Chains A and B, each alone.
Chain A
Amino acid sequence: MGNFERIIDDSELWLDYRNGDNEALGLLADRYYGALRRYGMKFLVDESIVEDCIQDLFLDLWQNRERISQTPSVKFYLFKAIRHSILGHMRYQQRFANEESQDWDSAMPENFNAESLLIEQETLNSLVAQMHAQMEALPKREREALFLRYYENMSVADISGVMGVNRQSVSNFLQKGITRIRAKWFVTTVFNLCFF
């Protein structure tokens, strides 16, 4: 979680791993397994497939350690690789499905506790429901870019690398995504009261 537990820097671990330290790669796996799994699951593939892809990814990294170079961002590298492998798998699965079969899970968030977010439950429920409806209307790639930007804190440059599109497109995805949701906001009763 967060940046607080990073005692050893990613790039240091990456260097150690490339020099044959399997424990360093293990630490990176611990660090990123959850994020990779969460991201992978968004493509709406089976859990076991996501997990297999992650395992394969780390095994490949290990076996090719002598050929792998230093990377400015380990997280970026891993996300890009897992995306590639999951989409490759899906393309193979759905060879006869249409080209745009890439999917993105934007299921409604569940069981969010409004009080823990300093909001009244009803207000938050209604806001989430509205925005969720807008979100569902967004193209998948916009939703993916939003997730990478706002959940994974990735830079536009990294997102463009992970998704394999140019930076301008990523900026467009993000901007359009946000404004589309925002454009449709209608003014609801505003709760200005503090209730704590």
Chain B
Amino acid sequence: MDRPDYDLNTPEDFLQNDRFRHWIKHRLSQDRTFWEEFLMQYPEKRPAYERAVAMLLVIFGKEQAETGALSDGAGKVREMLNAATDCDEADRSELGRDEPLPLWRWLRWSAAAVLVIGLGFWWSKTGREAALGDKGVAGISKRENGKWVIHENESQAIMLVNLPDGSSVLLSKGSSIRFGKEMNESERNVFLDGEGFFEVVKNPAKPFLVHTDKLTTRVLGTSFRVRSFPGQAEAEVAVKTGKVAVIADDDRTAEPLMLYPNQRVSLVRKNDRLISSVTGPAHIETTTPIETEPFYFQFTPLSEAFKTLETHYAVKILFDDEKMRHCTVTASLKDEPFLEKVRLICLATEASFVLKGDTVAVSGAGCP
């Protein structure tokens, strides 16, 4: 054991001493005994000791409240790793692909973060009387409450929601959305908790509004992503096509902020003030793959076009590969809602389609 007592004279000496730092950091009883004796034996060293203690405390700074958060946090990381591992195995066995698609990272990510999302905010907002509808597969739940339809994505992946006006929303995990059954008012109102990528049917007569707890986004027809999880300080809107107006909720008097393609705005709640910053395109970490996908097809085989849709919208598209093997698609479907994309592709290949849950069945006679 080292004998620090011989060389400890100045506060700096104490600071450099591992045993001293260990004592101040952890305050274990065996260390206490040692330092108690030390101070008894060398009372003249007390001032240096005291200053060194004060100095270390100041360097350490404010302790974070971390009792519960810590084990939770580490636990979450573990769950995520387990999920990622399962995912890897599933990837290997089911798909046998070697080349990961660029969006895999993201898909894995979403599949991985198995956070137990409680029924959350909507639950409390929309009232407990809301009839609990049947829970769909994979943790996707859909409820109807009076004139409202509510979708909650409790699954591990993204989920496609088709709105009554034909627009589509890709709902991120842990997010929920509420909208009117008919959407026949003068405005199309959608309430979002969490994150969603919207492709809105153009209808200049009926503005489309996405309301969240921090901001409201208003558009006529375009595609864009909104993220605003309750309880998180930060909210974000990113535009893929068209033009959208963003209004911070606590600042309704201010001019709406106009965003154009590839722009995004972040709102951060800091000291109870919303700070917004408009920035240029994408920062890879938060972009969802669909935001950068052009959906541009040029003599693309039908199977390939459908595969692109399947991966981005997390849906299954069934069709007769053999019969339709000569069909190709040439189109730019950048901001059409999902169903519109399918409709246009079917139109071009003289096919028809039916939507059932998250599966689209396409039937056609094939192409010459």
Contact surface of A with B, Cβ cutoff 8 Å: 1-2, 22, 25-26, 29-30, 33-34, 37-38, 41-42, 46-49, 51, 54-56, 58-59, 62-63, 89, 92-96, 105-110, 112, 116-119, 123-124, 127-128, 130-132, 135, 143, 146-147, 150-151, 153, 178, 181-182, 185, 190-192, 194, 196
Contacts and interface: CB of A to CB of B under 8 A. Distances in A.
Nearest to B268: A93
A147 B61 contact: yes
Interface of B: 11-12, 15, 18, 21-22, 24-27, 32, 35-36, 39-40, 43-44, 46-47, 49-51, 53-64, 66, 69-70, 73-74, 76-78, 80-82, 84-85, 105, 108-109, 112-113, 231-234, 266, 268, 277, 279, 283, 285
A29 B81 contact: yes
23 contacts: A2-B22, A29-B74, A29-B78, A29-B81, A33-B74, A34-B74, A37-B70, A41-B64, A42-B61, A62-B81, A62-B84, A63-B105, A93-B266, A105-B61, A109-B61, A116-B32, A118-B39, A118-B49, A127-B54, A128-B57, A147-B61, A191-B46, A194-B43
Given A22-B82, A51-B76, A181-B58, 14 more contacts: A26-B77, A54-B77, A58-B80, A59-B80, A93-B266, A109-B60, A110-B62, A116-B32, A119-B49, A123-B50, A131-B58, A150-B60, A151-B59, A153-B21
Nearest to A143: B59
Main secondary structure of the interface of A (DSSP, over half): helix
Contacts of B266: 93
Contact of A46 (B25, B32, B232): B232
Main secondary structure of the interface of B (DSSP, over half): helix
B77 A29 contact: yes
Given A46-B233, A109-B63, A51 B73 contact: yes
